[in-house]
Amino acid sequence: MIVLALGVLSGACNKQRITDNPSDRLAFAIDTLTFDTVFSSLGSSTRLMKVFNPNNQRIRISRLQLAGGAASPFRINVDGLSGTSFENIEIAANDSLYIFAEVTIDPGNQDNPFLVMDSVVFETNGNIQDVKLAAYGQDAYFYQFQELCTTTWADDKPHVILGNVLVDTNCTLTITEGTQVYLANEASLLVAGTLEVLGTADSVVTFEGLRLEPFFDDLPGQWGQLLLLRGSQNNMLRHARISEATSGIVIGSMVSDNLTDFGNNNLPDVTMEQVEIRQARDYGIFSFYANVDASNTLINACGRNNVAALFGGLHTYTHCTFVNYGAIGIDHQLPIVKLSNYALQSQTDVRVRPAAISFRNSIVYGNLPGDASTSLGEVEIDTIAAPTQFDYVFDHCHLRTFLDVQQPEFVSVTTNADPLFENITEEDFALRENSPALNRANPAYFLPTDLFGTDRQGQLDLGAVARVP
């Protein structure tokens, strides 16, 4: 019993004292906790602030509070408790405390980004310290599970799609130059009528994920897709950038119970000029018996195929660059381009649609390993189940492929030499001085300007991005 009492007494003596020395202060990893652009009424992600006790004794925060109190647009959580003011919070010697912060913006219909601020104030041993809170907020137009008829989206405010939006049959959605469209997780823009995206070289239209914090930069799969449904006609995308989607553009459908539904009477079509699709979790362009005419289009870093032209259709790709070297969240294992003219209604019922597919003055290149005996490279031509009604050609292209390019489907094609892009990491796909894709284009299909509206100055180079000497 005596030994036990002594042990208890010894433990009590070793318990940390709480310092009341004014020279003992808190330390902070940052002086300002900054939130990226937050759309009105949507809140934000949770940000973390870490508070340190660098002293050799326990310290007590007598008061911890939001300076703005209950009127503050910010909210904090301290040690699992939400509120605006907390008292007598202790931090052990050389230990730390986590504070979580959120913000909700009420912009009062201000169209331009604006700044809201507050601070978290700490009172300790007579000292007043603070960490500032700063968030940029912006008002926006919001859409959720709506059907639209003929209307125009302008660039006066961002347009935020929180849940699937449908452009109805016989209706047209026009999106003007410079407009920013943000889409929430799993949200898509569906088009049964017509979509007109009318950007310019100096003012592109952008589609990207709603989360603007640095962690989400270039993270694929943050939203659904632009889905052009069966029967959707006269779609135009000009000077658009599509980032961070599950699939950039889906034309036709990905699934159907009855392949008879896919006929000429509801064949969807799209024209794409100066379009960039990047960081798609699955596909850049996925088409299923559809017509696609794409020029000066760049598709980079997709988790499956950059271009999947399946179940036939009419496809023309001119001065395009389709590249894949993998990226954050992108494990590049499938060919960049996949073409087919059939689909299976059942294991024994093969349905065929005519295919006419042309790649002209284009580059298809990535880093899939292999050789002629183990890999097809970055181009897969699937004619096994339906070898007829399938016309395709690669005319004046530079490819990574181990297919037999001596066949008539390949016209003036070069293969498997590094195209020497300027900077793959920075997504600069202009060609360097000694690129094998320089001065190789067929003049019959030559486009005088490139993806960015840059004059090619008569240089017959392949791909979507001009090399300007």
Q: What long-range pairs does 384-387 form, CB within 8 A, spacing at least 24? A: 385/342, 385/344, 385/350, 386/340, 386/341, 386/342, 386/350, 386/352
Whether residue 46 contacts residue 87, with contact meaning beta carbons closer than 8 Å, is answered with no
**pLDDT value at residue 92:** 96
Per-residue pLDDT reduced to its tens digit, 235-259: 999 999 999 999 999 999 766 678 8
> What pLDDT is stored for residue 108 in this prediction?
66
Give the mean pLDDT of 202-207: 98
The region, left, alpha or beta by phi > 0 then psi within -120 to 50, assigned to residue 109 is left
Q: Evaluate whether 362 touches 336 at the Cβ level (below 8 Å).
A: no
Widest distance between CA atoms in the chain: 102
Q: Please, what is the average pLDDT of the chain? A: 92
Three-state secondary structure call for residue 67: coil
The amino acid that residue 7 corresponds to is G
Strands 114-124, 127-138: parallel, antiparallel or unpaired by DSSP? antiparallel
What count of other Cβ atoms lies within 10 Å of the Cβ of residue 163? Answer: 14
Please compute the mean of the pLDDT values over residues 335-340 and round it to a whole number. 97
CA 307 to mean position of chain CA atoms: 17
CATH class of 17-137: mainly beta
**Mean pLDDT for the stretch of residues 423-433:** 96
Is the pLDDT confidence value at 11 over 70?
Answer: no
How far is Cα 211 from Cα 36, in angstroms, rounded to an integer?
A: 9
d(CA 249, CA 242): 9
> H/E element holding 115?
strand 114-124
pLDDT-derived band at 8, boundaries 50, 70, 90: very low
E strand or H helix at 14: helix 2-14
The pLDDT, as a whole number, for residue 78 is 95
Distance CA 457, CA 119 (A): 55
What is d(CA 221, CA 243) in angstroms, rounded to the nearest whole number?
A: 9
441, with CB counted inside 10 A (0-12, 13-18, 19+), is buried
Span 418-435, average pLDDT: 97
> Domain coordinates of the chain in residue numbers?
17-137, 141-445
Please write the tens of the pLDDT for every residue from 89-128: 999 999 999 999 999 887 666 666 778 899 999 999 999 9
Angle at the Cα of 252 (from 248 to 258), degrees rounded to 5?
A: 135
DSSP 8-state secondary structure symbol assigned to residue 223: B
285 closest CA partner among 327, 234, 342, 237: 237
The residues facing 118 across adjacent strands are 133
Residue 289 has pLDDT above 70, yes or no: yes
Interatomic CA distance for residues 36 and 218, integer angstroms: 15
* Mean pLDDT score, 16-29: 93
What is the tens place of the pLDDT at every residue in 128-181? 999 999 998 888 999 999 999 999 999 999 999 999 999 999 999 999 999 999
For 69-94, write each residue's pLDDT tens digit.
Answer: 999 999 999 988 999 999 999 999 99
C-alpha to C-alpha distance for 182 and 207, rounded to whole angstroms: 6
Helix (H, G, I), strand (E, B) or coil at 196: strand
